[in-house]
Amino acid sequence: MSIEIVADAPAVATRAADIICASVRANPRAVLGLPTGGTPIAAYTEIARRVAAGDADLSRATVFAVDEFASATAATPGTNADFFRRFVTFPLGALHCPDPAAADPDAHIRAFAAQLRAAGGCDLCVLGIGENGHVAFNEPGSARDSRARAVALTETSRQAHAANFGAIDRVPARGMTLGIADLAESRSLLVLAHGAHKAAIVRAAIDGPATPEVPASLLRDHPHLTWLLDRAAAADLAVSG
């Protein structure tokens, strides 16, 4: 596990774009796992700027979303399908996102994970971390060997998406996610966090015990895991000073 600490949120975005673009330069047909949420938006904007300037090319890369809401439609504002349409604006070889309208979310996300494995698995999987320690939609209590499945979303996770859906009562109660074991099969993992509101959970995930109650902590033994943090998110770590 390595930890990179940069000055602030814009620096996280720039460095994340560096890492994603480097992965694709090394392998133009790279398979990427990409997250949604507020943390990676600026990184995607920076990648789009580089693509427009001719400094990056992801047109042969394949992207898999790491999670999605259930019991919605792909056109529903706030879903991850909607997020990728709005924020991942640069050309890709392929973009795969679970169908939020799937009639059987469990079967659908298991088939989605099988599709990822058939594509060769993720060369690089980028993740955010929720304030309750979730990665993708692996909520507290998720086991190290958990696989792709439908899950009940915690109130904390639903509240984090309330603005995108327009109100908390519009946020679906369930989601679909790649499991901890699926994420851990990626050849490289990059976890992003910025802001003081993430400092306590970042410390728990990095310095605390590896426990299902902090799902991000279960990735710590991955051989190629990088945490990319700004100073505010890293403030409680032993290494921060």
Summarised one tens digit per residue, pLDDT across range 82-132 is 999 999 999 999 999 999 999 999 999 999 999 999 999 999 999 999 999
154-to-171, 200, 241 alpha-carbon distances in Å = 11, 18, 33
101 in Cβ contact with 68 (< 8 Å): no
pLDDT, position 153: 97
Q: What is the CA 230 to chain-centroid distance, rounded?
A: 17
pLDDT band at 240 (very low <50, low <70, confident <90, very high): low
pLDDT per residue as tens digits for the range 203-215: 999 999 999 999 9
pLDDT per residue as tens digits for the range 133-151: 999 999 999 999 999 999 9
pLDDT per residue as tens digits for the range 218-232: 999 999 999 999 999
pLDDT, position 74: 86
pLDDT per residue as tens digits for the range 176-193: 999 999 999 999 999 999
Nearest CA-CA partner of 138 in 115, 116, 157, 164: 157
pLDDT at 28 over 50: yes
SS3 label, residue 163 = helix
Kind plus residue range of the DSSP H or E element containing 164: helix 162-165
pLDDT exceeding 90 applies to what percent of the chain? 97
pLDDT, position 241: 46
pLDDT band at 238 (very low <50, low <70, confident <90, very high): confident
Q: What is the residue extent of each domain of the chain?
A: 2-230
Supply φ then ψ for residue 181, to 5 degrees.
-65, -35
pLDDT per residue as tens digits for the range 31-67: 999 999 999 999 999 999 999 999 999 999 999 999 9
Which active-site residues does the annotation give? 67, 132, 134, 139
Sign for the CA dihedral angle at 135, 136, 141, 146 comes to negative
Among the four given CATH numbers 3.30.70.270, 3.40.50.1360, 3.90.1170.50, 3.90.199.10, the one describing domain 2-230: 3.40.50.1360
Kind plus residue range of the DSSP H or E element containing 95: strand 94-96
